[in-house]
């Protein structure tokens, strides 16, 4: 019998392989289409009023939010990046002045003394490995985003929006009790509102 854990590991491997095999051209086109999709779908007040948005530095074939980031900077919206602290995430301002250090996974994090906790953000754009239409999210397996937002109610800030390539969609994810559901998933071609 295959346990949930085994099927999550197998899925994770396949989906990471799929996103890593996208060419640099496909990645850039996906990032451009993601920005168009974002602008079309999210002109609602929750986005327009957002002052602090967390995103991430693309790694391992993840869809890149860098064009969204430029757009937010044009709108004078402050952007934040996740910083690993123990088993959770805190968030550090990302600006043109940011100074960097690598975390244990080789991903850059801003060096700062001024961290925000998850609930001080308006929107968090989450990286993911796989997603389903119910807002299920499969991540890299560290449980960092799950722990950080474990006690968040869906009607409380921040709004959790997953960013993904279309090839990361699966019919149904083997969900675990600790998985924090996403409120929307944005791809280059779709928005799924949960
Ligand atoms: N871009 C990005 N930043 C992020 C995340 C993410 O998923 N994407 N995270 C989301 O939580 C946190 C980091 N979590 C991560 C967890 C595992 C690996 C990873 O590459 N694991 C290797 C094994 C490395 C090892 O064991 O030393 C692997 O599985 O190949 C990377 C990031 C915070 N920052
Ligand atoms: N709220 C929580 N409290 C304690 N442990 C947790 C919590 N959430 C997740 N975990 C632990 O984290 C481990 C990884 O979880 P999971 O496979 O769902 O990570 P993920 O969502 O893929 O990773 P990430 O959020 O870092 O991208 C699990 O084995 C689980 O035990």
Q: Which atom of ligand 1 has the smallest separation from the CA of 89?
A: 33
Q: Is 13 in the pocket of ligand 1 (CB under 6 A)?
A: no
| Half-sphere exposure at residue 148, Cβ-oriented, CA atoms within 13 angstroms | 25
Contacts with 86 (C-beta within 8 Å, 6 or more apart), sequence order: none
Expressed in angstroms and rounded, the spacing between residue 125 Cα and the centre of ligand 2 is 17
Instruction: Tell me what percent of the chain is helix, strand and coil, each rounded to the nearest 5.
Output: 30, 25, 45
Paired tokens of 127: 């990286």
Distance between CA atoms of residues 185 and 194, nearest Å: 8
pLDDT at 178: 85
The pLDDT of 150-160, averaged and rounded, is: 92
Q: pLDDT tens across 11-23, in order?
A: 999 999 999 999 9
Distance 127 CA to ligand 2 centre (A): 14
Residue 66: what pLDDT? 98
CA of 119 to the centre of ligand 2 (A): 18
- Using CA atoms, how far residue 189 sits from 12, 36, 72, 140, 184, in Å, is 22, 9, 20, 23, 13
- Residue 142 CA: nearest ligand 1 atom is 16
Question: Distance between CA atoms of 67 and 97, rounded to whole angstroms?
Answer: 18
3-state secondary structure 67-124: HHHHHHHHCCCEEEEEEEECCEEEEEEECCCCCEEECCCCCEEECCCCEECHHHCCEE
Pairing of strands 159-163, 137-138: unpaired
Count other C-beta atoms under 10 Å from residue 14's C-beta: 12
| Average pLDDT score over residue span 135-164 | 94
User: What is the Cα–Cα distance from 100 to 114, expressed in whole angstroms?
Assistant: 14
The reply to whether ipTM tops 0.90 is yes
Ligand 1 centroid vs 45 CA: distance in angstroms? 32
- 56 pocket-lining for ligand 1 (C-beta < 6 Å): yes
Output the average pLDDT for the chain. 93
């Amino acid at each position: 019998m295959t346990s949930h854990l085994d099927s999550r590991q197998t899925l994770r491997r396949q989906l990471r392989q799929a996103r890593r095999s996208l060419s640099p051209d496909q990645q850039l086109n996906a990032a451009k289409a993601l920005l168009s999709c974002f602008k079309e779908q999210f002109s609602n007040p929750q986005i327009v009023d957002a002052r602090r948005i967390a995103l991430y530095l693309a790694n391992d074939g993840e869809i890149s939010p860098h064009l969204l980031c430029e757009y937010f900077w044009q709108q004078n919206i402050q952007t934040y990046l996740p910083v690993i602290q123990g088993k959770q995430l805190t968030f550090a301002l990302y600006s043109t002045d940011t100074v960097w250090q690598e975390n244990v996974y080789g991903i850059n994090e801003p060096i700062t003394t001024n961290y925000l906790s998850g609930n001080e953000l308006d929107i968090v754009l989450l990286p993911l490995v796989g997603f389903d239409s119910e807002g299920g999210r499969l991540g890299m397996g560290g449980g960092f985003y799950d722990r950080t937002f474990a006690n968040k109610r869906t009607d409380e800030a921040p709004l959790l929006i997953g960013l993904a390539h279309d090839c990361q969609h699966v019919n149904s994810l083997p969900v675990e009790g600790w998985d924090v559901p996403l409120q929307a998933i944005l791809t280059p071609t779709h928005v799924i509102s949960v």
